Every structure is written in C-alpha cells, then in structure tokens.
C-alpha cells in the first residue's frame, strides 16, 4: 500500500513538473516571437530588403535550428551582424542586374538568396568536418569582451526606438512624446524586475507586453507601435503568405563562374560570422544553464537552415543572443520554446498581423534593455584591475571592436592578440640547466616549450666554442611543438659539428624524432634511443593517453 502511494505521488509530481515546464516553454516562446518581429524587420531594412524576407528567415532558421540544433533553448533568426554584410551584396547585385543585356530590377535580392544557400553549405561542411570544436580556442577575456560588446550594441540599437521620422528625416522624440516613451519603457522594466519576485508563475516579459499594450490602447496614447515602425521604414505591414520555393532563382541568376566569384567571398564571410556568433552564444548558454551543447551539430543545423531559407526566400540568419537570453532567463531549457517561437512568428505573419502591429515599441524596448542588463558581464568591471594587463586589454579591445566594427573582426583580433601574448610569455619560459658529467660530457637540460617564438632564446643558451668535446641535450622537461623547434635543434647541432664536437639528443618525443630524420637522416645517429630514466616513461605514457 505504501509502495503504491509513493509511486502515485512521484507520478503526480512528475506530471506537475512536466506541465509547469511546458507552460514555461510555451509562454517564453510566445514572448520571444513578439521580440523577434521588430528585430527581423529592422535588420531587413538594414540589408535593404522587404521586411517579409527577414520575417521568413526568422521563422525558418528558428524552426530548423530549434528542432535539429545542438543547443536546446537557443534562438536563431535574422541578425544585424549578417545584415550589415548583406547591404553591399544586395547593392552590387542590383547594379549587376541593371547592367545585363536584359536588365532585371531588384536582382540583388536573388543574388542574396543564392549567397545564403552557399553560406549554408559552408556552415554544414564545417559541422561535418567537426570544426565546431575550435570555438574552445576562444579565450575567456575574448568571451567577456564579446558579451559586453554585444550588450552595448543591443543597447545602442534600441536608442533608435526613441526616434521618429519627420519630413523624411529621423529625429529624437521630444516633449510629452519622449516622456511617455520613457515612462512606458520604465514601466516595462519595472514589471520584468518585480513580477518574478512576487509571482514566478507569470511570464514577466509577456505580462509586460500585455500590460503596456492595454495601457496604450485604453489611454489612447500616441506612441510608436510595431506597425508604425514598419511603415516608417517603408514597409506595408506584416501581413503575408507562407514562404514559397524560389523557382525563379534558377532562371534569373546566371550560374556561371563569374557568379560564383561574386558570391563566394560574401558567402564565406557570412558563414564565418554566423558560426562565430552562434557558437559563442552556445558557449554562453552552456555556462548559464550548466549544460553542454553540441557545437558540430549546431553548425550542421545552422547550415541546413540557411540552405532551406535561401531556397524559400529568406535572408538567412544565425543565433540571436538577445532573444536567447530572454528565453533562458524565462526558464526555458528545451527545444519546445524555440519551436513555439518560430510557429508563433508564422502565425503572427499569417493571421495576427493586425494585433501584433498594435504592440507598442516601448514594451519591446524595455524588454531588450533588461536583456542588456542581464547580458553585460558586470563582474568583468570588478576583475579588470585584478587580472593580467594583457587580458584586461584584450577584454576592452574586443568590446570596443564589437561596437565599432562587428563581431567577427572583434573575435578574430581578440584571438590573435591572446595568441601573441601567450606565445610571448611562453617564449620567455625556455630554460637550460647545465652540469658536467664525470666523463666530461656537458649536459643541457632543457625546460619549457620549444616552438617558433622560443627558438632564438633556445639557441642562445649554447656555447659551441667554449663547450667540451661531448655535449648532451636532454629534452626530458621540454616539448618540441612545431617545425621551427626542429630547425632550432638542427641549427644548434650544426654549430657544434662545425667546431668538430659531438652532440647527442636525449628524451626526444617520437614526432620530433620523425621530423628530424625526415629533415636529415644523419641526425638518427645523434639520438639516444635507450632511455633508462623511469620518469620519461611515465611522462610518455601520459602523453599517449592524452
């Protein structure tokens, strides 16, 4: 009886927990969908294309990556990082279309679709060849800089919501309009901050949207809405139909070598930026949720999503850190929230465009400001004085470059800077302990990594003219890391041989032996193969296991 009771109790608890999780996933997905609308529209305007192209991309990329991606809970869609690159692609494509024998107006859009397809192929190949693991090479200061820079970018992008179009010119709101906008944004932020403290069952972001929308409709406030935002940008509204297969691509775009030469650089750049932003967002969510995503699976999912998006008339996309943070902060951890967000976005486009256009921009801006606060790594401000100057410089530089240029440039520069600092610091660690054996042989015990940056310091340790007739170089506590290290060893050997002295090499790793013998077979006779030091075998066995 007692066993049956406990079993039923556990079953009830499981059902209650599952129901609560499902409710959280659904409400979070709807909230994310609402936040996706103005973002997708804004990025479409940045790229110089119709808003529906951005909305279709948000739907298709979001749905496919939510189902097949490597990070449950991560939201993907049209992003500003990609839109900035697409601007020149669309413009050049339009110019090429007008220069054809039979001019085609708006051909840049079709070039964009083909480029997105090729971009997806590059991304899928990266996942297939398991290149996603290299995201682990991004140092922590670069990650912090990326997060801080992206938070600043999101904040700056939301400042445009405090502007209006007057006579074709974008100007700041002023007077009562600015005060009303600030009040609504502040109210949204207050609801998102205090509501979880009072009742964790109610979705804070969605509740804030409903409350602010109710206030503006009842009080008949003249404030910017999603609909006015679209019309001010030159769009006609959200109402649309299901995305259709772009069959005309195969008749309008000339599939020639010239076309490939034109789109390939754009596709490669878009693929790189998309994967960097997606994998860095994946790493960030891994840290927040204390789980592990699959980077290679995410690469393949992003690639397949962009291929489908290009074929069905979308602008392509990648992971969106702002919307992903909204989703995770709401408690969503599964794939359901992303699927709900994508399907809700499609429903907005097809059936509820009139209602969505009534949502005040202030509510969405307030939500994004809370995302900025949650995204920015405030702890980095506290640790900057405590960490090495080089790391602090990388952190600040990546943040600044993300704001000034874009994510890809910032991350690449940050990695290069960190790699140079690492190389320099390790180059200074090469040491040589010296002693003379009873038989008169001088022994150099090398300590530290031998690679391209430490070669000069390594060669300077030896005194070919002043050393005795027999010299032994022991690499027990060193590791030859690259071909430059092998060349440095060859240089030292040749110096001693020119002086008519004998050099023997001890405790070399197998790969270093192979490189030396490949470089010159005469070095085989200089390597001591019989090792009687038990420490060496322990280290060698450990290296093999690693």
Q: Is 202 helix (H, G, I), strand (E, B) or coil?
A: coil
> What is the enclosing helix (H) or strand (E) of 76?
strand 76-77
Based on the domain organization, do 439 and 376 belong to the same domain?
Answer: no
C-alpha 54/C-alpha 38 separation (Å) is 10
Q: Is residue 389 part of a domain?
A: yes
Give the C-alpha separation, 449 to 535, whole Å: 18
Q: Which residue has the higher pLDDT, 204 or 178?
A: 178
Domain boundary residue, one of 358, 380, 413? 413
Nearest to 351 by CA among 33, 79, 89: 33
pLDDT band at 537 (very low <50, low <70, confident <90, very high): very low
How large is the average pLDDT for residues 169-188? 90
Whole-angstrom distance, CA of residue 441 vs CA of residue 435? 9
Contact call for residues 47 and 56 (beta carbons, < 8 A)? no
Average pLDDT on 145-169 reads 81
Tell whether 48 and 180 lie within a shared domain: yes
267-322 tens-digit pLDDT: 998 998 889 889 888 988 988 888 888 999 999 999 999 999 999 999 999 998 88
Band of pLDDT at residue 545, cut at 50, 70 and 90: very low
Kindly report the average pLDDT of the chain as a whole number: 84
**Residues 57-68: what's their mean pLDDT?**
95
| Residue tagged 């997708």 (tokens) | 40
**pLDDT-derived band at 13, boundaries 50, 70, 90:** low
pLDDT in tens, 332-382: 888 999 999 999 999 988 888 888 788 888 988 888 888 788 778 888 888
Residue 524 forms part of a structural domain: yes
Contacts of 223 (CB under 8 A, 6+ apart): 177, 180, 181, 184, 216, 360, 361, 362
Residues 376 and 458 in one domain: no
What's the pLDDT at 64? 96
Q: Is the per-residue pLDDT at 414 higher than 50?
A: yes
Question: Quick check: is 421 in a domain?
Answer: no
**How far are the Cα atoms of 83, 319, 354, 362, 368 from residue 228, in angstroms, in the given order?**
22, 27, 12, 12, 19
Q: What is the per-residue pLDDT for 4?
A: 60
Mean per-residue pLDDT, 221-244: 77
- Kindly tell me if the per-residue pLDDT of 518 is higher than 80: no
- Whether residues 336 and 442 share a domain: the answer is no
- Of 413, 438, 468, the position where a domain reaches its end is 413
- Model pLDDT, residue 9: 58
Say yes or no: 123 and 231 in one domain: yes
Average pLDDT estimate for 403-417: 83
How many Cβ atoms sit within 10 Å of the Cβ of residue 525? 7
Identify the DSSP state of 355. Answer: H
pLDDT one-digit tens code per residue, 125-135: 999 999 887 77
Q: Output the CA torsion sign for 486, 487, 488, 491.
A: positive
Q: Within this chain, do residues 450 and 302 fall inside the same structural domain, yes or no?
A: no
Q: Is 373 exposed, middle or buried (0-12, 13-18, 19+ CB in 10 A)?
A: middle
> How far is residue 425's CA from residue 461's CA, in Å, rounded to a whole number?
18
Angle separating helix axes 336-350 and 2-47, nearest 10 degrees: 50
3-state secondary structure of 474: strand
- Spell out the residues 6+ positions from residue 230 whose beta carbon is closer than 8 angstroms to its own: 41, 51, 236, 237, 238, 357
Supply the pLDDT for residue 301. Answer: 96
Angle at 417 between CA 416 and CA 422, to 5 degrees: 95
| Position with higher pLDDT, 441 vs 528 | 441
Distance separating alpha carbons of residues 254 and 58, to the nearest angstrom: 28
DSSP per residue, 362-396: HHHHHHHHHHHHHHS-THHHHHTTTS-HHHHHHHH
Tally of domains in the chain: 2
Rounding to the nearest 10 degrees, give the CA dihedral for residues 83, 89, 92, 94. -70
pLDDT band per the 50, 70, 90 thresholds, residue 234 = low
pLDDT tens per residue, range 424-478: 888 878 889 999 998 899 999 999 888 888 899 999 999 999 999 999 999 888 8
Average pLDDT over residues 187-201: 87
Residue 236 has pLDDT above 50, yes or no: yes
More confident residue, 31 or 118: 118
Whether the per-residue pLDDT at 539 is higher than 70: the answer is no
**80: nearest Cα among 411, 403, 410:** 403
CA distance 135 to 401: 19
Among residues of the chain, what percentage have pLDDT more than 70?
Answer: 90
The answer as to whether 422 is a domain residue is no
Give the max Cα distance, the chain. 99
Q: In this model, does residue 155 exceed pLDDT 60?
A: yes
- Taking alpha carbons only, the member of 278, 311, 312 closest to residue 295 is 278
pLDDT at 187 exceeding the cut of 50: yes
Q: Are residues 385 and 462 in the same domain?
A: no
**Average confidence (pLDDT) over 57-83:** 91
With respect to residue 423, please indicate whether it lies within any of the assigned structural domains: no
- Same domain flag for 396 and 452: no
Helix ranges (H only) for 405-454 are 407-427
CATH number at 451 reads 3.30.750.24
Residues 367 and 495 in one domain: no
Which of 387, 413, 439 is the last residue in one of the domains? 413
Domain containing residue 502: 428-545
Higher-pLDDT residue of 100, 262: 262
Residue 386 lies in a domain: yes
What pLDDT is stored for residue 267 in this prediction? 93
Rg (CA), the chain: 30
Task: Pick 484 or 165 by higher pLDDT.
Answer: 484
Same domain? 374 vs 435: no
Cα–Cα distance between 495 and 302 in angstroms, integer? Answer: 55
Q: Identify whether residues 462 and 370 lie together within a single domain.
A: no
Shared domain check, 392 and 442: no
């Amino acid at each position: 009886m007692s066993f049956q009771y406990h079993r039923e109790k556990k079953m009830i608890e499981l059902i209650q927990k599952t129901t609560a999780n499902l409710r959280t996933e659904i409400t979070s997905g709807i909230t994310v969908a609402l936040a996706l609308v103005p973002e997708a529209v804004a990025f479409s305007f940045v790229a110089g294309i119709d808003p529906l192209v951005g909305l279709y991309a948000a739907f298709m990329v979001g749905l496919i990556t939510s189902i097949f991606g490597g990070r449950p809970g991560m939201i993907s869609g049209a992003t500003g990082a990609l839109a900035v690159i697409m601007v020149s692609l669309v413009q050049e494509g339009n110019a090429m279309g007008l220069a054809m024998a039979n001019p085609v107006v708006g051909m840049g859009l079709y070039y964009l679709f083909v480029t997105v397809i090729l971009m997806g192929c590059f991304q899928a190949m990266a996942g297939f060849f398991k290149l996603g693991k290299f995201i682990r090479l991004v140092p922590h200061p670069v990650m912090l800089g990326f997060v801080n820079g992206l938070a600043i970018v999101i904040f700056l992008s939301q400042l445009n919501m405090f502007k209006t179009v007057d006579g074709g010119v974008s100007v700041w709101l002023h007077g009562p309009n600015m005060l009303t906008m600030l009040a609504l944004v502040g109210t949204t932020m207050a609801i998102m901050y205090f509501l979880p403290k009072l009742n964790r069952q109610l979705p804070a972001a969605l509740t804030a949207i409903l409350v602010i929308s109710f206030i503006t409709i009842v009080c008949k406030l003249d404030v910017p809405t999603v609909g006015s935002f679209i019309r001010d940008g030159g769009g006609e509204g959200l109402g649309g139909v299901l995305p259709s297969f772009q069959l005309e691509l195969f008749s309008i775009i000339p599939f020639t070598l010239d076309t490939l030469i034109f789109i390939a650089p754009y596709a490669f750049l878009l693929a790189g930026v998309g994967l960097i932003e997606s994998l860095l967002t994946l790493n960030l969510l891994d840290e927040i949720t204390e789980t592990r995503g699959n980077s290679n699976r995410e690469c393949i999912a992003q690639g397949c999503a962009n291929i489908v998006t290009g074929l069905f008339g979308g602008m392509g996309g990648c992971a969106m850190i702002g919307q992903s943070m909204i989703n995770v902060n709401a408690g969503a951890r599964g794939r359901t929230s992303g699927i709900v967000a994508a399907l809700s976005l499609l429903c907005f486009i097809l059936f509820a465009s009139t209602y969505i256009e009534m949502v005040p921009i202030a509510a969405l801006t307030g939500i994004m400001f809370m995302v900025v606060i949650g995204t920015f790594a405030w702890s980095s401000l506290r640790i900057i004085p405590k960490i090495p100057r080089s790391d602090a410089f990388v952190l600040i530089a990546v943040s600044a470059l993300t704001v000034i240029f874009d994510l890809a440039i910032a991350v690449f520069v940050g990695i290069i800077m960190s790699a140079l600092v690492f190389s320099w610091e390790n180059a200074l660690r090469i040491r040589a302990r010296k002693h003379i054996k009873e038989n008169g042989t001088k022994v150099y015990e090398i300590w530290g990594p031998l690679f391209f940056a430490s070669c000069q310091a390594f060669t300077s340790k030896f005194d070919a003219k002043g050393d005795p007739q027999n010299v032994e170089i022991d690499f027990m506590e060193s590791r030859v890391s690259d071909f430059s290290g092998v060349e440095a060893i060859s240089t030292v050997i040749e110096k001693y041989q020119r002086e008519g002295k004998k050099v023997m090499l001890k405790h070399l790793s197998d790969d270093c032996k192979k490189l030396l013998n490949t470089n010159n077979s005469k070095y085989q006779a200089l390597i001591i193969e019989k090792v009687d030091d038990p420490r060496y075998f322990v280290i060698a066995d450990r290296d093999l296991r690693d």
